Structure 1
């Protein structure tokens, strides 16, 4: 029997959940606070924004796209892809843009969720699917004097429409994933660009290539053949990521050596100056932080109009950034400092059984069985939840497994004439214990490894502890020893 499902968030996860739930016969409403779908690919508009996962993996298996311009898709293309899913699968009637959810509460007696939106609307649903993502809340570093800067200042995740950096003295604070994409583009137009690097990153070559118009036309003409070839190529790239790239994080000697050598060779090939290479060489093991994939960051740092500062930022003043060497005068300051990832401060309140909120349940850190279900919150299925992030493969694959697991669980409710599915406290605790045991064997658990994957208490709340194949196996069935149906 079809269920009424509220999908909260219209990024990749929310769209996947809505598509597959509707195909399974459920009634779906999608609530999105923004004016467009796409999630992070709608929000991030900085120059050079792109995905660091091959496009053929960063799409849904049920919706291949023959129109990618490059092996690695650009941000606007992915945003266009998400918008095309709305049309392709007829989601328009279910989509509520400019209407985020502010509160969702479980009614134990009625056995349904009451959802309240920012427009004041209320509706009841059998299940909710929070698809709010992990990388959606910009992180601002605590640097004294930031509010005093007299120039233009913004976060890379909130790039101003139409801003012109031509000839300006620009400073970029940060040198990680978004920074290595936007810095080469800013360097082309800025009068002078100063990059403030706290910690260097391990970077391996992207070796990106454009997909020719002829190839795209061929794929569009013979979609049957293109889908077969695409599936084979996708499987090959998937296996390479899942079983070879994963070794860098599982911390095998072979994985460490291979990725360390690839990164060092890349650095030496692109940066001839020995002093600059030394500043760009990490002193922590490869894989500890996110391995970056980029071809043009190092060449940008070698430009005459670019300076790399590694001595740290003391304060921000009206005229620029104060370092140990003096004041760096700036007209524009860009914070490429990533996202808040360890606090899990959702933009809505979630109230489970007994009036306990999710914020209270996660006060000591977020935990979710398979990253999907939370004890005390029946019929709630989280997408891209705790311990489902990846460093080696595509999150779109993980999302498809999570959605499939949700649908299996809803089918199990019908099969047993039940109305509520909830992971037991013991089932969640056993899963969390196993995850932490597996994570202890990864590079992220190294006591000298500090990254956005790890919280201040040393626990790793973001990352899955194995490869994607392991996750597919873990979510393939509903374990009735862990999940209660009532």
Structure 2
């Protein structure tokens, strides 16, 4: 009876805390930073070496014709480039463009103090086996992840053109190619090089990643606040102001400063302990607390590396990635003793509510309520264990209660850190809990801050989002139809999440109709493997000219993939109906407050419900057939 009463109490807390946030008017309001001139300066690149880039001979200029243009030079772009090279294409036929000043994607931009991957690096860092890169730690720090990206580019001879933005693409039907407008921006000292130019590419691949466009709450008073206070986003950390550097974040300039940080999710969990070491006083502004558990890091010794790689066994990283995804998705065929990673995240099975699971097979709509109840019961002991950890770690009971999450653990990415909760035991750290309402306004009459850090994350270009949403670029396919129009229309569908009818020779690294995972490296590999197979098979086909091949998925094939996805969509009932608005749900209010038409569209754009392992296996089965069933090649 006691356990039932506890369960009822927990459920009531979940409902009450969710209701608070559903009633918050400003939850989903975000500034379009790239379009708003009042905050556009927050996007400035503090890391780019414009002088060095200006001296380089550009790989592309007005009128260039290439075979592959890959938009994005982070992990997704690098993995796609690798698989194209592996499929036999010349690296000199590929150019990766990025508005950043170098390789790495989100790991180029993010250099905040305390930055570290929260997924085991042996699974997360791409192409370790292929490139020979050995991480120094089990959980790699940000600088090492960026160095790994640079290492991959050098190892495989990849060509990157940086400080170059993707502006627009138009399908040229007569030539069977994409006309792409790019914009190069090398700072005020190189105005003569800051130009828009147009190139032609046979194949266009968008690999902008899900975390590339910073998110800033649209709240009143920001302009006035910024005139008197220092404000920056965590993805553009200002070490000139704070002191220190990404490798040695000794922020000595903060010793006499009162600092505020908005946000208590993954970024803040890592940055707060570092700020607490140096700031005169630190205020942490919280809307929704995060589940935080212990972190299990270690150095990579020769003995550990030999164990991880199974003595250099071919395919060891793919095997380890799949094993981790099996546990992320609570696969019905694994047992705890089969877990190769054995960390807190891999031991949290209910996260499958976000990433899907092969258990979704046979789960019809009539079982939605039972499935949600089963997931809540599956989740209960893990959430209770982390809540207990929080309360044991934070000394002040009132602060501990405010830091305790009351929602299912799948609603917001849990974090694992050995210093975040402990920081709230320090006399110079104050938690400002907003009781689910969030910061309401920026005002000079509030907290007497010298500096405000926006640890407010990124606009999620993931499930449901057009893959070019973060770049705000136009991509017009056959008949001039924009990709965003199809993405939000009743005839929306994709094949495997990597291509869509009406947009020939366009391939996407998309979170829609594709897989998701806390470790996206494996998903990017699945997508890139499929894309390389389609292009290589099409261009090698009998009777085709490789340099003039056009390949496009049929309406029937993409609808068949969508129908397969919809057949398992009940798996996501817990995510859609139990969570407060978060970026996992696109800041939507939830099932009962979404009209049927919108809910139908949400379901059409979900992640693949069978999870990353089911997604990968479906792709490998298709590739194994050796043909292009469902595609039109001319």
TM-score by length of 1: 0.87
Q: Which has the higher mean CA deviation after the structures are superposed, 136-145 or 280-289?
A: 280-289
CA contact (8 A) 1:13 1:384 kept: no
Instruction: Identify, as 1 or 2, the structure richer in helix.
Output: 2
**Of 311, 319, 322, which residue of structure 2 is paired with 1:225?**
311
Relative to structure 1, the CA distance from residue 203 to residue 482 in structure 2 (aligned partners, 3 Å threshold; closer, same or farther) is farther
2:505 corresponds to 1:375: no
CA contact (8 A) 1:105 1:114 kept: yes
**Offset, 1:73:** 0.9
Aligned to 1:25, the other structure's residue is in SS state: coil
Relative to structure 1, the CA distance from residue 404 to residue 389 in structure 2 (aligned partners, 3 Å threshold; closer, same or farther) is closer
* Cα distance between partner residues in 2 of 1:290 and 1:437: 26
* Cα distance between partner residues in 2 of 1:234 and 1:389: 14
* Cα distance between partner residues in 2 of 1:196 and 1:215: 43
2:374 corresponds to 1:271: no
Counterparts of residues 297-308 of structure 1 (less than 5 Å):
297-308=420-431
CA contact (8 A) 1:289 1:450 kept: no
**Of 272, 277, 290, which residue of structure 2 is paired with 1:183?**
272
Relative to structure 1, the CA distance from residue 168 to residue 454 in structure 2 (aligned partners, 3 Å threshold; closer, same or farther) is same
* Cα distance between partner residues in 1 of 2:166 and 2:220: 34
2:231 corresponds to 1:105: no
2:235 corresponds to 1:157: yes
Show the counterpart of 1:146: 222
**Of 92, 95, 99, which residue of structure 1 is paired with 2:160?**
95
| Number of positions where the alignment pairs a residue of Structure 1 with one of Structure 2 | 471
**Of 147, 165, 189, which residue of structure 2 is paired with 1:80?**
147
* Cα distance between partner residues in 2 of 1:314 and 1:223: 50
Relative to structure 1, the CA distance from residue 282 to residue 438 in structure 2 (aligned partners, 3 Å threshold; closer, same or farther) is farther
Relative to structure 1, the CA distance from residue 108 to residue 371 in structure 2 (aligned partners, 3 Å threshold; closer, same or farther) is same
Structure 2: stretches of 5+ with no match in the other structure:
1-65, 184-194, 243-253, 332-347, 354-371, 589-597
Q: Which has the higher mean CA deviation after the structures are superposed, 177-186 or 446-455?
A: 446-455
Please tell me the root mean square deviation across aligned C-alpha atoms, in Å: 3.0
* Cα distance between partner residues in 2 of 1:74 and 1:105: 39
Show the counterpart of 2:96: 30
* Cα distance between partner residues in 2 of 1:485 and 1:246: 42
| Residues 110-147 of structure 1 deviation map (CA, whole Å, 9 limit, x = unaligned) | 21112222144433222111111111111111222111
Show the counterpart of 1:420: 550
Show the counterpart of 1:135: 211
* Cα distance between partner residues in 2 of 1:292 and 1:482: 42
* Cα distance between partner residues in 2 of 1:224 and 1:438: 36
Aligned to 1:315, the other structure's residue is in SS state: coil
* Cα distance between partner residues in 1 of 2:566 and 2:402: 34
**Of 304, 329, 334, which residue of structure 1 is paired with 2:453?**
334
**Offset, 1:15:** 1.2
Aligned to 1:263, the other structure's residue is in SS state: helix
Show the counterpart of 1:19: 82
**Offset, 1:446:** 1.8
**Offset, 1:264:** 2.0
| Residues 248-305 of structure 1 deviation map (CA, whole Å, 9 limit, x = unaligned) | 3336356413431332232133223322221122222121222223222111122111
Show the counterpart of 1:240: 327
* Cα distance between partner residues in 2 of 1:466 and 1:204: 27
* Cα distance between partner residues in 2 of 1:63 and 1:186: 37
Q: Which has the higher mean CA deviation after the structures are superposed, 281-290 or 365-374?
A: 365-374
* Cα distance between partner residues in 2 of 1:64 and 1:296: 33
* Cα distance between partner residues in 2 of 1:373 and 1:201: 35
CA contact (8 A) 2:213 2:471 kept: no
**Of 223, 239, 261, which residue of structure 2 is paired with 1:172?**
261
Aligned to 1:410, the other structure's residue is in SS state: helix
TM-score by length of 2: 0.68
* Cα distance between partner residues in 2 of 1:76 and 1:85: 14
2:531 corresponds to 1:406: yes
**Offset, 1:23:** 2.9
Show the counterpart of 2:571: 441
Aligned to 2:83, the other structure's residue is in SS state: helix
